[in-house]
Structure 1
Amino acid sequence: MRKFAAYLIFTVFFIPAFGQDTTPAQSTGSLKRSGRPDIPGTFTLELGVNNASSKPSEFSLGFWGSRTLNVYYQYEMRILKSNFSFVPGIGFSMERFKFKNEYTLDYNGSSIVMISPTEAGRSDTRKSQLITNYIEVPVEITFRTNPEDPARSFKASIGGRVGYMFDSFTKIKYKENGEMKKLKDKQDYNLNKFRYGVSAKIGVGNFSLFGYYNLSDLFEKDKGILEDSQLKNFNTFTVGISLSSF
Structure 2
Amino acid sequence: MMKKILVAVALFLAVGNVKSQQKTTDNTSTTGKRDLKKSAIDLSNRANDHFMVQLGYENWSGANIVYGPKGFSRYFNVYFMLDKPSKSNPHISLGYGIGLSTNNYFFNDVFIDIKSNNTTMPFSDTKNSSDNKFKKFKLATDYLEIPLELRYADNVEEPNKGFKASLGLKLGLLLKAYTKGKNQINENGASLYGSGYIVKEQDKHYFNTTKAAVTGRVGIGFISLDGSYQLTSLLKSSAGPTINPWSIGITLSGL
**What interval of TM-score do these two structures reach, taking the shorter chain for normalisation?**
0.7 to 0.9
Unaligned runs of 5+ residues in structure 2 are: 22-44, 185-190
Q: Which structure has the higher relative contact order (CA within 8 Å, separation 6+)?
A: 2
The one of 179, 190, 203 equivalent to 2:219 is 203
1:179 pairs with 2:194: yes
Correspondence for 1:76: 83
Deviations 1:166-207 (Å, cap 9, x if unpaired)? 111000112443512111111115011100110011101111
1:105–1:189 Cα contact (<8 Å) kept: no
Indicate how the Cα distance of structure 1 residues 10 and 165 shifts in structure 2: closer, same or farther if over 3 A, else same: same
1:169–1:184 Cα contact (<8 Å) kept: yes
Correspondence for 1:16: 15
Any idea what SS the aligned residue of 2:232 has? coil
Q: Distance in 2 between matches of 1:16 and 1:91?
A: 19
The one of 124, 130, 138 equivalent to 1:129 is 138
- AA aligned to 1:85 is S
- What count of residue pairs does the alignment treat as equivalent? 221
Indicate how the Cα distance of structure 1 residues 183 and 95 shifts in structure 2: closer, same or farther if over 3 A, else same: same
Indicate how the Cα distance of structure 1 residues 19 and 147 shifts in structure 2: closer, same or farther if over 3 A, else same: closer
The one of 61, 64, 70 equivalent to 1:62 is 70
Unaligned runs of 5+ residues in structure 1 are: 23-37, 225-231
Correspondence for 2:36: none
Across the aligned residues of Structure 1 and Structure 2, the Cα RMSD in angstroms comes to 2.7
Q: Distance in 1 between matches of 2:125 and 2:166?
A: 42
- AA aligned to 1:74 is M
2:110–2:123 Cα contact (<8 Å) kept: no
**Aligned sequence identity (%):** 25
Indicate how the Cα distance of structure 1 residues 109 and 48 shifts in structure 2: closer, same or farther if over 3 A, else same: same
Correspondence for 1:29: none
Deviations 1:185-239 (Å, cap 9, x if unpaired)? 1111501110011001110111110110100001012222xxxxxxx22211111
Deviations 1:53-109 (Å, cap 9, x if unpaired)? 135453221231x10000001111111143101000110000011113333234362
The one of 59, 84, 89 equivalent to 1:51 is 59
The structure with the greater share of residues assigned to strand is: 1
Q: 1:14: Cα distance to partner?
A: 4.2
Any idea what SS the aligned residue of 2:160 has? helix
Using the size of structure 1 for normalisation, the TM-score is: 0.79
